[in-house]
Homo-oligomer: A and B are copies of this chain.
């Protein structure tokens, strides 16, 4: 029952289906038509992942044989699925997450709207900004070592990563401002 381990694809599927029930094909289309493609790609990973999540009780399938020739399995999220998703969305961004895959924090944010209040989303982003700043500093001190060497490419590549983090930090500022504006308008 306890969600042993979930892959990024698993969590992405939970987040997508949390926004509205969907079939494997719906998700496949979503991945091929939108920048969500970074999550994954092929039916060969999506269908088994959906079946896994159903076995673990995080998704529930309903057969839609009325409209289609071949029965569509339409998935919706269960209470356990929501719990697993929320646990993931509430985890603070860590240095380890940035190292493992720097896109994950934003991917998580993109799926969090239904499950986090504006205030919670803002503090999530503040945590992200802190993680960016900390890891960025670490990379800068490593860059100083590299710049002594005679190779140009590795230092430039590292500089690219550092610039990217700085850029993300600026994005965080704008995103927080947008969320605050939205919250003010909602009152």
Contacts and interface: CB of A to CB of B under 8 A. Distances in A.
A156 B178 contact: yes
Interface stretch (A44-52, A56-64, A107-115): A107-115
A168 B161 contact: no
Interface in A129-172: 139, 142, 151-154, 156-161, 163-164, 166-168, 170-171
A36 B1 CA distance: 36
Contacts of A178: 152, 156
Interface in A39-86: none
A127 to B, nearest CB: 15
A35 B139 contact: yes
Contacts of A171: 159-160, 163-164
